[in-house]
Structure 1
């Protein structure tokens, strides 16, 4: 590990020098590429430099204890020695985590697809609440959201909604949200006051660039039609809605949220690219050996990952046995405690897998 850290430190210093060179500054693409590499290395290098400084502090304290006879100075040296040893242990753990293989999709924006599952209108109402939860979470992190497609049920619920979240590291934090979200409560649509259980399925897909997925035009059928449902001026009076059918996979994308057919077509293609990229990722993960897969991972779509229990005001994440009694704040977008716990559990699982190899 320390040989690798020394190599990264040398590479970081090389990058700092390269970024000062006039020909690099004038070449925007190369400059951006080197800046990204430098930014990726910076947390590792800073932690390693602090680690080295703490190791040196340990040596200095031991030397002082050997040579110093003054009791007060010896006590100071002992305190510094204990502090440095404790910090070295913390930094060793941090460095192991920082050196874990990075998910290449972590910096990508995400497509979020929320579908009402079992529970009819109640599931659709909860799908709308889950949508608002993620929008509030995105706003709290100053990320942008944009609806790609939406299908409403007429009473404020969503049968399905697909939207994009744009922001630094969006996928790195939201990738753990894929799976079945279950709600237990007395529905507004239920007069008998009985607690019902309904489900919503969430799919988190990294936004795919054109270079990530090449779509052959012969594999696509494009239909244009008049938008249906509520809309602004012109939405329902022109053939602005676009439906894409991808023959090889059978995926159908429908986009009607924009007034312009061109904008709807662009949104539909963005979603199709992300769905195709997501399919490729699933195939790759399925072919990997079980030992190399994270115990948390990015979530099986059919796996029940979380329960929102209204009578008891609690949220439970079943993968890591985490229960929080703060249902209202979670549904209002306060997701960091849940996501941080999932990230920590995922990192611990990956470290364990590395040690077992």
Structure 2
């Protein structure tokens, strides 16, 4: 598809160059005043179109992220704000689930730690479909909410936060895991408040000893299924460690990019009183918060694409 688009753009570019040469020839020859005026107006328009085409061609020739076509593991964790932060984490999880449904993607729950009021201390799910990582890779970071919590009796606006991590899923060939490097524990899964919800030891916790990464899965009734999902998350996190090392090496090049690589950075605010969503990385604001939380993310994601492409083009 990119090759076909490049061929079309090059054809348009050559045609515009020919038209520019003809208009410049008319101006050099002089003569008819009306014809000169038309040629001058056309030349201005043609030069603007040439600039746009040159920009589009430059963007098309930029190297693509090799992970863009991959499926993802998406993790949402409640941050500062207690129960309200857990409720906001649930709102974000629903937002991404609804967006996936709009795209026709498959969502598979991996692990969750629910609270008594219906929030989540942590929720992890896998999303698979067409170019999932390309669409959601800019979501990693701290998301902040400003609203009157359901737990607030005085009507005061509180600020809470949740963090999002988006990991491209790793194939087994990309990340080899030595079984000797793993410590696997099984235990009974628990629900809100810590009560046991399963009499069998079906929950699984895996510790990757060399890195200290800990992964836990308890959503499935089968210990085997929970182990499979835990290993899937572990592979994604190990691949992400490799990516982060690579991005640190390219820190100078990536400094101007939308994706900072620093997941402690506040990237977006959801302000309920103002019906406002603001992405702080590109200073982009939408005044339709409910639509965004209902999964209408395309306008926001496309703005992030454009900003990243433009900055990369400037560095190219």
User: Using a 3 Å threshold, how does the CA distance of structure 1 residues 250 and 289 change in structure 2: closer, same or farther?
Assistant: closer
- The partner residue of 1:317 within 273, 279, 291 is 279
Alpha-carbon deviation of 1:74? 8.5
Question: Are 1:163 and 2:113 an aligned pair?
Answer: no
Structure 1, 56-65 or 303-312: larger mean CA deviation? 56-65
User: Using a 3 Å threshold, how does the CA distance of structure 1 residues 57 and 143 change in structure 2: closer, same or farther?
Assistant: farther
Distance 1:335 1:165 in 2: 16
Alpha-carbon deviation of 1:178? 0.8
- The partner residue of 1:253 within 207, 215, 231 is 215
Give CA-to-partner distance per residue, 1:156-206, whole Å, 9 cap, x none. Answer: 100000111112221112111111111111100111211111110011111
- The equivalent of 1:179 in structure 2 is 141
- The partner residue of 2:99 within 128, 137, 143 is 137
SS in 2 for 1:171: helix
TM-score, reference length from structure 1? 0.79
User: Using a 3 Å threshold, how does the CA distance of structure 1 residues 173 and 58 change in structure 2: closer, same or farther?
Assistant: same
Question: Are 1:269 and 2:209 an aligned pair?
Answer: no
User: Using a 3 Å threshold, how does the CA distance of structure 1 residues 191 and 106 change in structure 2: closer, same or farther?
Assistant: same
SS in 1 for 2:99: helix
Unpaired runs of 5+ residues, structure 2, are none
- The equivalent of 1:28 in structure 2 is none
- The equivalent of 1:209 in structure 2 is 171
Distance 1:57 1:241 in 2: 69
Number of residue pairs matched by the alignment: 312
SS in 1 for 2:231: helix
Contact kept, 8 Å, 1:176 with 1:298, in 2: the verdict is no
Alpha-carbon deviation of 1:83? 5.1
Larger relative contact order (C-alpha < 8 A, sep ≥ 6)?
2
Give CA-to-partner distance per residue, 1:198-219, whole Å, 9 cap, x none. Answer: 1100111111111221111110
Contact kept, 8 Å, 2:90 with 2:119, in 1: the verdict is yes
Question: Are 1:110 and 2:75 an aligned pair?
Answer: no
Distance 2:257 2:305 in 1: 11
Give CA-to-partner distance per residue, 1:84-120, whole Å, 9 cap, x none. Answer: 4433221111011111121111111111110000011
Question: Are 1:119 and 2:78 an aligned pair?
Answer: no
SS in 1 for 2:198: coil
- The equivalent of 1:151 in structure 2 is 113
Alpha-carbon deviation of 1:293? 3.5
Contact kept, 8 Å, 2:247 with 2:254, in 1: the verdict is no
Computed over aligned residues only, the root mean square deviation of the Cα atoms, in angstroms, reads 2.6
TM-score, reference length from structure 2? 0.88
- The partner residue of 1:281 within 239, 243, 248 is 243
SS in 2 for 1:198: strand
Alpha-carbon deviation of 1:60? 5.6
Contact kept, 8 Å, 2:2 with 2:60, in 1: the verdict is no
- The equivalent of 1:96 in structure 2 is 58
Contact kept, 8 Å, 1:177 with 1:299, in 2: the verdict is no
